[in-house]
Chain A
Amino acid sequence: MSGPASGNGPVSLDDARWQEVLEATNGDAWPCYQCGTCTAVCPWGRVREEPLNVRKIIRAAQLGVEEDGGMLWLCTSCGACETRCPRGVPIVRVLRALRSLAWKKRQVPKGLPSVLWGLYQDGNPYRLPPSARSDWAKSLEVRRFQAGDEMLLYLGCTASYDRRMQKIARALVRLLREAGVSFGTLGDDEPCCGEAAMALGHAAYAAEIAEANARLFAAKKVRALVAISPHCYDMFLNHTPRLEAGFKTLHYTQVLAELLKAGRLSFKGSVPKRVAFHDPCYLGRRNGEYEAPREVLRHIPGVDLTELAECRENALCCGAGGGRMFLETPAAERFSRLRVRQAGEAGAQILAAACPFCIACLEDSANQIEAGPAVMDVAELALEALGAPAPAPGTAVQGGRQGG
Chain B
Amino acid sequence: MTENSGGFHTIVCLKVVPRPEEVVVDPQTKTLDRAKARSLVNPPDLNALEMALELKEICGGSVSILSMGPPFFEPYLRLAMSLGADRAYLLSDRTFGGADTLATTYTLAKGIQKIGKWDLALCGEESSDGATAQVPPGLAEWLDAAQVTYAFQMAPADQGRMRVRREVKGGWEELMVSLPAVVSVKGNVNEPRFIDFDRRRWALNDSPVTVWSAADIGAQADLIGFPGSPTTVAGVRQVGGRERRKQFLEGTPEEIARELARLLKTQAGSR
A114 at the interface (CB under 8 A from B): yes
- Tell which of B21, B196, B246 touches A129, judged by Cβ atoms closer than 8 Å: B21
Which B residues are in CB contact (< 8 Å) with A8?
A: none
Number of A-B contacts (CB under 8 A): 35
Roughly how many angstroms separate A212 CA and B98 CA in the complex, as a whole number? Answer: 37
Note all chain B residues with C-beta closer than 8 A to A106. 193
- Closest B residue, CB atoms, query A203: B197
Q: Which residues of A contact B19 (CB under 8 A)?
A: 129-131
Q: B246, A120: Cβ atoms under 8 Å?
A: no
B195 CB to nearest A CB, Å? 7
Interface assignment of A86: CB less than 8 Å from any CB of chain B = no
Q: Which residues of A contact B192 (CB under 8 A)?
A: 113, 117
Judge if B174 is at the interface, Cβ distance under 8 Å.
no
Kindly state whether residue B191 has any CB partner on chain A within 8 Å.
yes
User: In whole angstroms, how far apart are the Cα atoms of A120 and B197 in the complex?
Assistant: 13
Give Cα distance in the complex from A202 to B196, angstroms: 11
Q: Does B175 contact A (CB under 8 A)?
A: no
State whether the Cβ of A3 lies closer than 8 Å to any Cβ in chain B. no
- Chain B residues near A129 (CB-CB < 8 A): 19, 21-22
Given the known A-B contacts A130-B38, A394-B246, are A111 and B21 also in contact in the complex, defined by CB atoms under 8 Å? no
Q: State the CA gap A130–B192 with chains docked (Å).
A: 21
Which residue, of B195, B246, B248, has the highest number of chain A Cβ atoms within 10 A?
B195
- Residues 172-190 of B, flagged 1 when their CB comes within 8 A of A and 0 if not, give 0000000000000000000
| Interface residue? A34 (CB, 8 A) | no
Question: Which of A110, A117, A131 lies in contact with B194, CB distance below 8 A?
Answer: A117
**A:91-117 near B, CB below 8 Å:** 103-104, 106, 110-111, 113-114, 116-117
Q: Which of A106, A114, A121 has the most CB of B within 10 A?
A: A121
Task: State the Cβ distance, A254 to closest chain B Cβ, in Å.
Answer: 31
Q: Which of B38, B40, B191 contacts A113 (CB 8 A)?
A: B191
A132/B21 contact (C-beta < 8 A), A121-B40, A205-B197 known? yes
Q: Which residues of A contact B193 (CB under 8 A)?
A: 106, 113
Whether the Cβ atoms of B194 and A204 lie closer than 8 Å is no
**Which residues from chain B contact A110 at a C-beta distance below 8 Å?**
191
Residues of B152-211 contacting chain A, CB below 8 A: 191-198
Smallest CB–CB gap between A120 and chain B, Å?
A: 7
A103 in contact with B40 given A132-B21, A394-B246 (CB within 8 Å): no
CB closest chain-B residue, reference A121: B40
Instruction: Verify A103–B194 contact, CB threshold 8 A.
Output: yes
Within the complex, the shortest CB–CB distance from A18 to chain B, in Å, comes to 20
Residue of B nearest to A204 (CB): B197
Give chain A residues whose Cβ lies under 8 Å from the Cβ of B38.
130
Instruction: Tell me, in angstroms, the Cα distance from A398 to B249 when the chains sit together.
Output: 12
Is the pair A104, B194 in contact by a Cβ cutoff of 8 Å? no
> Do A114 and B191 touch across chains, with their CB atoms under 8 A apart?
yes
In the bound complex, how far is the Cα of B195 from the Cα of A238, in angstroms? 25
Contact B195 A111 (CB under 8 A): no
0/1 interface trace, chain A 117-156, chain B, CB 8 Å (1 if under)? 1001100000001111000000000000000000000000
Residues of A within 8 A of B40 (CB): 121
CA distance A17 to B97 in the complex (A): 52
- B248 contact set on A, CB distance < 8 A: 396, 398
With both beta carbons as reference points, the residue of chain B lying nearest to A197 in the complex is identified as B194
Name the CB-closest residue of B to A104.
B198
A139 to chain B, nearest CB (A): 10
User: In the complex, A67 Cα to B265 Cα: how many Å?
Assistant: 57
Give the interface of B toward A (CB within 8 A): 19, 21-22, 38, 40, 191-198, 246, 248
A–B complex contacts, Cβ < 8 Å, 23 sampled: A103-B194, A104-B198, A110-B191, A111-B191, A113-B191, A113-B192, A113-B193, A114-B191, A116-B194, A116-B195, A117-B194, A120-B194, A120-B195, A121-B40, A131-B19, A131-B21, A131-B22, A132-B21, A202-B194, A205-B197, A394-B246, A396-B248, A398-B248
Closest 10 CB pairs of A and B: A204-B197, A113-B194, A116-B194, A129-B21, A121-B40, A113-B191, A131-B22, A113-B193, A114-B191, A131-B21
